[in-house]
Structure 1
Amino acid sequence: MLSESRRLVGLGWSAEVRHNDDAFDDLEGDWSDLVSRYAAATPFQSYAWLRSWWRAYGRPGALRLALVRHDGRLVAAAPLTLRHRAGCPVLAPLGEPFADFTDVLIADDDAGAASRLTGALLRQPGWQAIDLPEVRPGSAAGTRLAPAWPGRRWRTPASLCLELPASEIADLVRALPAHSRKTVRRRLNQLDRSGIEVREVEPADAARATADLLRLHARQWQGRGGNPEHLTGRFQEFLATAAGDMLADGSATLFEYRLEGRLTASSLVLVGRELAGGYLYGAEPELRERVDVTTMLLADVLPLALRQGCPTMSMLRGAEEHKRRWRPAESQHEGLLLARPGSARGAAYGAGVSAMRRARRTARDRAPWLRAVRDRIRGRR
């Protein structure tokens, strides 16, 4: 069966779970309308991002796209895929592991949507647990789906994100401590004298610009580890398709930096309703001898967030030292695990994965040098 649907007669509610591989194709308008009515939606829940990921990475027959409508209007959606982990059939979010935020979508103005989405998922057979690994504070998954869930739930600490208020770079610098302010102003003056030219890529040029971005990204990480999947043709296909559509609808901007006419850096920035964040960048290693690259990128992303009306500029996952020098606020993600009510396998999976993630986090916090060793080993490989 390609989809399962159920009509709640007389109440104007309907729900379905789509399995067919082209399930996204007729949803663009409805999906964009739902995103516009969910304030905490991020670019990783956008139609362009999810459809592009599914086309590049989806396994035929594994899609579980739950949709809830009220009086014909889409009010909730859970974009999930069926996976088997540790002997347990699990519903995992589309976009994983490339999405910094994982969530469902529930319209802010529809009080009954969360319970109907829960019901639609529970009526779907063949799975025992739902695993959302990177849930932001204030997300629909954490504040509406989880409280409505009738089965067991686990919440575990996940990634730490660092955030800055959207502003002009000069305003941010003024708020820094005196010793940091002096350093940053020196770097900004150095950037002004460098002669680097910045331009925003047009949607029609997305495929070429994305290929150049990933080439620069590979150069930047050469010999230092990095994510090997970023070097594959499949990832390039996914990112080029997503970026082209997102540049067109304003949910992404791709900056290119040229020095003496030569492309030396690129940065893809994703834009949501509440935040804008640099998702992926690449830079020639020699550029670091001329300018501070982090300062260069922030000088464009911060005012972009301000122009787009986003209150927050997110540095996305990771709390590296070069981010902390800007005195950002911390945003703690959580992993959310939901077991099907009465499922022994779902409960075992939730308890086991929760314990494993807590142990891994404890080890990382107590022995941060282990991550450096791992990165060096990957670099040699």
Structure 2
Amino acid sequence: MVELWTTDVRRGDDALDDLATEWNDLFDRCAAASPFQAYAWVHSWWRSYGVPGRLRVFLVRHRGRLVGAAAFQLRWRAGCPVLTPLGGSITDFTDVLLDDETAAAAAPILATAMVGDRGWQAIDLPESRTGTALVAAWPGPHHETAGSLCLELPSSEMEDLVRGLPSHSRKTVRRRLNQLKKAAPEVREVAAGEAPQAVESLLRLHRRQWHGRGGNPEHFAPAFAEHLTRAVTAMISRGEAALVEYRFDGELLASSLILIGRDLVGGYLFGVDPALRGRVDVTTMLLADALPLAHRLGRPTMSMLRGAEGHKSTWRPAEAPNRRVLLVRPGSLRGGGYARGVLALRRATELAKEKAPWVKAVRDRLRWRR
């Protein structure tokens, strides 16, 4: 006889290896699942970045069917053992997966299974979109603070977006669209079998784009290329990603990686040959494909993901701030101290931004040099 509810806590480095089918099925039953909770993304990240012996996977099944899943890596921060979600700094949204139909019942069971696992004192979800369903079910203290700011547009055809812009912006965008039409790029989506070579081209263009101007150092690391190649290949085959290439006069000059969740499409990474910038407006070109893609797929949102760069403001996106969620093990003094430290650091950071904005510029410069 199948038990009504069961839990499974896994610690082996191969804990994710046999879960692809179940995990993908659960992903399809979670309406708010972002592409960063897709099995291909999580599993590939662990293979490229995971520290042996640190994987923790928590599973909840109802009548034998997987209805809750969470994967973490154990890390030591300020002397405190903390569970952090797989995905690290290259992941824009962090959360657990819960089946929509059983989420209310499964969340406390998942929380109980996590508390029953020893060796950690706090859980740190740095980029939660909605505050995570675990908060209401958590038996111990929890805290929230601001995460990254994301910008979003409602999915639509490009013309509908342009029509709703203020007149001065509308004229500018129409001029850019006409310029793009005259340039007549060949636009194509890459098939899964072509993904490894296409990812290599994307990263090569991305390096050219940022040459001499900084950029995110992680995007130039071998581990990132390995992870992205493996994850994107699988995600394209599942309809969880699209890799779009742009050729001008037969030459590949731009490439854009779009990730597809259950309720949004997100522009994740692009690479552009610097020579293209004098010919077309790159942001307009990329959005002209990503926005209609979200509309065709029936996803209500086209997300520009993390960051409020100036070039995004033309489109009048809505702000969608992430939240950093801290869950403390019941009765844990070390876990509580870690959470208080995170909150204090956040307050200090906000104060520094307000009183001494030059500090951020110095920090970013030091990060790049390091």
Q: What TM-score bracket applies, with the shorter chain setting the length?
A: over 0.9
Question: In the TM superposition, what are the counterparts of 1:252-331 in structure 2 within 5 Å?
Answer: 252-331=241-320
Alpha-carbon spacing, 1:377–1:23, altered in 2? closer, same or farther (3 Å): closer
Q: Tell me whether 1:351 sits opposite 2:343 in the alignment.
A: no
The CA deviation string for residues 298-322 of structure 1, in whole angstroms up to 9 with x for no partner, is 0000011011110000000011111
What is the match of residue 129 of structure 1? 122
The CA deviation string for residues 93-117 of structure 1, in whole angstroms up to 9 with x for no partner, is 0001111000011111113100100
Cα distance in 1, alignment partners of residues 27 and 233 from structure 2: 19
Cα distance in 2, alignment partners of residues 365 and 52 from structure 1: 39
Question: In the TM superposition, what are the counterparts of 1:1-381 in structure 2 within 5 Å?
Answer: 12-110=4-102, 111-137=104-130, 142-365=131-354, 367-375=356-364
Could you tell me whether the CA contact under 8 Å between 1:48 and 1:242 is conserved in 2?
yes
Q: Percent identity?
A: 61
The CA deviation string for residues 108-144 of structure 1, in whole angstroms up to 9 with x for no partner, is 111310010011000000000000000002xxxx252
Cα distance in 2, alignment partners of residues 172 and 78 from structure 1: 37
Alpha-carbon spacing, 1:232–1:301, altered in 2? closer, same or farther (3 Å): same
Alpha-carbon spacing, 1:329–1:248, altered in 2? closer, same or farther (3 Å): same
Deviation at residue 178 of structure 1 after TM alignment: 0.3
Q: Secondary structure at the match of 2:89?
A: coil
Q: Secondary structure at the match of 1:159?
A: strand
Q: Which amino acid aligns with 2:149?
A: L
Runs of 4+ in 1 over 6 A off after TM superposition: none
Cα distance in 1, alignment partners of residues 213 and 363 from structure 2: 10
Could you tell me whether the CA contact under 8 Å between 1:223 and 1:379 is conserved in 2?
no
Q: Secondary structure at the match of 2:225?
A: helix
Deviation at residue 358 of structure 1 after TM alignment: 2.7
The CA deviation string for residues 226-282 of structure 1, in whole angstroms up to 9 with x for no partner, is 111211221111000000000111100000111111110110000011100110001
Cα distance in 2, alignment partners of residues 51 and 366 from structure 1: 42
Alpha-carbon spacing, 1:131–1:376, altered in 2? closer, same or farther (3 Å): closer
Give unpaired runs (5+ residues) of structure 1. Answer: 1-8
Q: Which amino acid aligns with 2:17?
A: D
Give unpaired runs (5+ residues) of structure 2. Answer: none
Deviation at residue 78 of structure 1 after TM alignment: 1.1
Cα distance in 1, alignment partners of residues 357 and 60 from structure 2: 44
Cα distance in 1, alignment partners of residues 145 and 358 from structure 2: 23
Deviation at residue 372 of structure 1 after TM alignment: 4.1
Alpha-carbon spacing, 1:30–1:238, altered in 2? closer, same or farther (3 Å): same
Cα distance in 1, alignment partners of residues 12 and 43 from structure 2: 13
Q: Secondary structure at the match of 2:88?
A: coil
What is the match of residue 3 of structure 1? none
Cα distance in 2, alignment partners of residues 198 and 372 from structure 1: 37
Cα distance in 1, alignment partners of residues 347 and 58 from structure 2: 30
Q: Secondary structure at the match of 1:112?
A: helix
Could you tell me whether the CA contact under 8 Å between 2:68 and 2:97 is conserved in 1?
yes
Cα distance in 1, alignment partners of residues 9 and 347 from structure 2: 32
Cα distance in 1, alignment partners of residues 81 and 298 from structure 2: 41
Cα distance in 1, alignment partners of residues 165 and 90 from structure 2: 32
Cα distance in 2, alignment partners of residues 13 and 115 from structure 1: 12
Q: Bigger CA drift: 367-376 or 170-179?
A: 367-376
Q: Secondary structure at the match of 2:315?
A: coil
Cα distance in 1, alignment partners of residues 287 and 184 from structure 2: 17
Q: Which amino acid aligns with 1:332?
A: P
Could you tell me whether the CA contact under 8 Å between 2:37 and 2:95 is conserved in 1?
yes
Deviation at residue 354 of structure 1 after TM alignment: 1.5
Query: For the aligned residues, what is the CA RMSD?
Result: 1.6
Could you tell me whether the CA contact under 8 Å between 2:207 and 2:271 is conserved in 1?
yes
Cα distance in 2, alignment partners of residues 366 and 318 from structure 1: 21
The CA deviation string for residues 319-353 of structure 1, in whole angstroms up to 9 with x for no partner, is 11111110011101110011111111000000101
Could you tell me whether the CA contact under 8 Å between 1:277 and 1:313 is conserved in 2?
yes
Deviation at residue 363 of structure 1 after TM alignment: 2.5
Q: Secondary structure at the match of 2:90?
A: coil
Q: Which amino acid aligns with 1:55?
A: R
Q: Which amino acid aligns with 1:281?
A: F
